[in-house]
A and B are shown apart, each in its own frame.
Chain A
Amino acid sequence: NAGVTQTPKFQVLKTGQSMTLQCAQDMNHNSMYWYRQDPGMGLRLIYYSASEGTTDKGEVPNGYNVSRLNKREFSLRLESAAPSQTSVYFCASSELAVGGYTFGSGTRLTVV
């Protein structure tokens, strides 16, 4: 089925470890996003990519980096994980002209 695929679904890291969350979409969308979801708070934008070759910081970018590898793929990297990065991470894609959003199934990350 067409959509947004995120991997992994679950991950436990030790403080200081690094990892990359992968995201791929097959809807030919130009824009892709990484959000984090924490209890009692709305989803917050970490980074976004309006189109292939561009990336911009969102609301909470500290401690993260991203790569828009091609039109399909947008990865999120934690260089040195901290307990404050324990969260559920969602990747999403959209097409500006149409406006609809498609979300991945989420990655539940725990940093101990």
Chain B
Amino acid sequence: KNEVEQSPQNLTAQEGEFITINCSYSVGISALHWLQQHPGGGIVSLFMLSSGKKKHGRLIATINIQEKHSSLHITASHPRDSAVYICAVRAYGGATNKLIFGTGTLLAVQP
């Protein structure tokens, strides 16, 4: 079993829909990252969380440390949001910033 699990693996939505991507992890962590990767593109950091909630534009990320779960929400989705969204965690106590990655959620937003 992977230490970081994402669901769903694939998601198709209509433009304007509210989208939720989930991430569960099995290790103690000091931080959780949400990353975005467009097809054939590089990887961009969206959020780094250690508690609570963060918002940037139409994106909202939440984390529940006790339940070892995080969600990424996209409000009023748009075709340009189509990408792979990756959850990654930094294990607690690590001397470096090495990350453990989920396999990603492929999101397609149709006009």
List residues of A whose CB falls within 8 A of some B CB.
Answer: 31, 33, 40-45, 48, 50, 58, 90, 92, 94-96, 99-106
Contact = CB atoms under 8 A, between A and B. Distances in A.
Contacts of B45: 100-103
Range class of the B interface residue count: 20 to 34
Contacts of A106: 41-43
B90 A99 contact: yes
Nearest to B87: A42
Contacts of A58: 98
Nearest to B6: A42
A104 B44 CA distance: 9
A58 B100 CA distance: 11
B109 interface: no
Given A33-B98, A43-B99, 18 more contacts: A42-B104, A43-B86, A43-B88, A44-B101, A50-B96, A58-B98, A90-B42, A92-B43, A94-B97, A95-B97, A96-B97, A99-B31, A101-B33, A103-B35, A103-B42, A103-B43, A106-B41, A106-B42
Contacts of A31: 96-97
Interface of B: 2, 4, 30-31, 33, 35, 41-45, 48, 86, 88, 90, 95-104
B4 A99 contact: no
Interchain residue pairs A-B with the least CB separation, the first 6: A42-B101, A105-B42, A103-B43, A94-B97, A43-B101, A50-B96
A81 B44 CA distance: 28
Contacts of B30: 99
